[in-house]
Amino acid sequence: MMKTHRIASILILGSLCAGCSSGSNSGLLPSSKLDTKTNWSSYDEAKRSFDAIIPHHTTAEDLKRLGYDPFTTPNITLLTYIELLRRFLPNDSITKADLDEGIQDCFAMKDECKAYEISLKIRHEKRFGNVWLDLLTFRRKTKVTGWEFNAFIVLKGDIVAYKISGGKPRIDELIDHKKPLGPLQDIEGNSIVKAAGW
């Protein structure tokens, strides 16, 4: 009997909350940040620095001045010749002849061949909307903003032999998660009431 009253109370409270203003007290809702420490404050800034790299001309010293130094710049991974082989030749269907000439030349130098891998992610999440609907898990709306920048620089000795970049210049997403039964519904959408046999 007590369980029935508890369920009814939660459902009534949820119904009352549904009529509240959706923008009320949104500042009370949680937010989160995932910021990779980086020398660049935006995607465009990182891309401009990367575009200044010229294969077969830019040196390792030049890369340092541009902000690409795995020993002083955070979040740059230094890859060895063996690791590069695994990346570019993951199976027998791909041969060295299929690769860019710059990478082929680098592989010919073996231990003098290395690469810098850069992976930057700035991601901010902020929940907004009706506080009570959010706290009781009836409806949670999340705004996601930020950017991602990924780059790969292959060096043959002290000279850049190959480069490539990608990423997401602008992240702008809306996650709208609804659970009609609120706290009585688990995250997969199944009814806890049904699972408990009530």
Residue type, 85: L
94: three-class secondary structure by DSSP: coil
Q: Which DSSP state fits 56?
A: T
CA distance 148 to 121: 4
Record the tokens describing residue 182, joined without a space.
Answer: 């609120």
Q: What per-residue confidence (pLDDT) applies to 41?
A: 86
> Which segments in the chain show pLDDT lower than 50?
3, 5, 8, 11-12, 14-23, 191-198
At residue 30, the pLDDT reads 66
| Six-digit token string for 127 | 């929940």
- Summary count for the chain: helices (H), strands (E): 7, 5
Helix, strand and coil content of the chain, in percent to the nearest 5, comes to 35, 35, 30
How many other C-beta atoms are found inside a 10 Å radius of the C-beta of residue 178? 13
pLDDT, one tens digit per residue, over 113-140 is 999 999 988 888 888 777 777 777 778 8
CA-CA distance, 135 to 43, in Å (whole number)?
34
Q: What are the domain boundaries of the chain?
A: 31-195
pTM beyond 0.75: the answer is: no
Q: Output DSSP code: residue 122.
A: E
